[in-house]
Structure 1
Amino acid sequence: MSDARSEVGSPTRLTVLAGPTAVGKGAVTSWLRENHPEIWISVSATTRKQRPGEVDGVHYHFVDDARFDAMVASDDLLEWAVVHKQARYGTPRGPVLEALAEGRPALLEIDLQGARQVRERMPEARFVFLAPPSWEELVRRLVGRGTEDEAERERRLETARAELAAEPEFDAVVVNHTIPAAAEELIELMRS
């Protein structure tokens, strides 16, 4: 990688943000998108159903199983995984490489399985774990968003327990007490 300088102030380096379900990864990245447009944020492809308020190409690239299979077969994804034993999610490779080549600070917001794959392919990336203030707060946030039924909440909480145990695999941890504070702490890590 070249020694291109980003507007954040450090050599361009991919940052990977992961953490358990309902910890606020999407909210933190949305805040960054609105307040730090110099940061390029990857848009994942997914086979899950589009939720109310989500915009295709902004929140996710919503694709069917056949399109996702084609992306996997042609190695168009930097990483991909089955999440919550249901939908598949993946990071399109081309846009990530383009952003880094342009010298832009780049951020991937992905799940634990994807972060592990990116570590194998791009070990020079910075890996940041977004943690909840407590287990009780994580459960409150998941229930409070009201986007999953009881069975889906239980499936996600089961996944979250395993995801929380992976915290030591990451280079840094940001506790999401509030979205702006967590986002600013993430910016500081990207600058370091």
Structure 2
Amino acid sequence: MPTIEYVYSAHSAFAYLGSRELMQICADHNATLIHRPILLSPVIEAQGGLPFRRRTQKHVDYFFGREIERWSEFRSVPIMCKRPTHHDADYSLASGMIIALGETGALTDAMAHALLEAHWCSDADLSNRSALVEIATGLGHDAAALLEKAASSYVQDKLQENTDWARERAVFGSPTYIVDGDPFYGQDRLELLKRALVKPFGAPSWSNPSVS
């Protein structure tokens, strides 16, 4: 049975846009999805990327505008036509809700998708406890118990471990899918991911010369 390590942040636009397609790929190929939610900014910055607060307005407008609109239409995924109001809020507790349900399984899959969907379709504040209670309750969980576990030091330490793990493996951003050590960055690589589950790509043979 193939496995896919799913590295993403709980508020990622492109993780959301690829979420349903990813779940379908797993079902079609009997693949196990291993969830590794992360804190995104430290991972991006470790590879020399800029957090959005430091990028140009034109870059932000393109990313949160035209690029999302096109992929939303292409994948038939509903999404707000604006950047979420609380996109820069602390989403560590929301990430903890995913981790608290385990690395694999239908409950974890559903929670990951529900958080992304609430953020990008309903403008949910993923740092707001009431919003998280509503999401958890809607999925049939004991929200109080789940949030208590999500806030525990064990779960929050696991979130940091995931973040450190992603930094060490040169993950560039969210989402990144890893199959047998081969990373596929971005939901626009899902078609390549599908191919890799059937026929793995050859070992990398191309590299840049050192830049001085």
TM-score w.r.t. the length of structure 1 is 0.32
Higher strand residue share? 1
Higher helix residue share? 2
TM-score w.r.t. the length of structure 2 is 0.30
Max Rg structure: 2
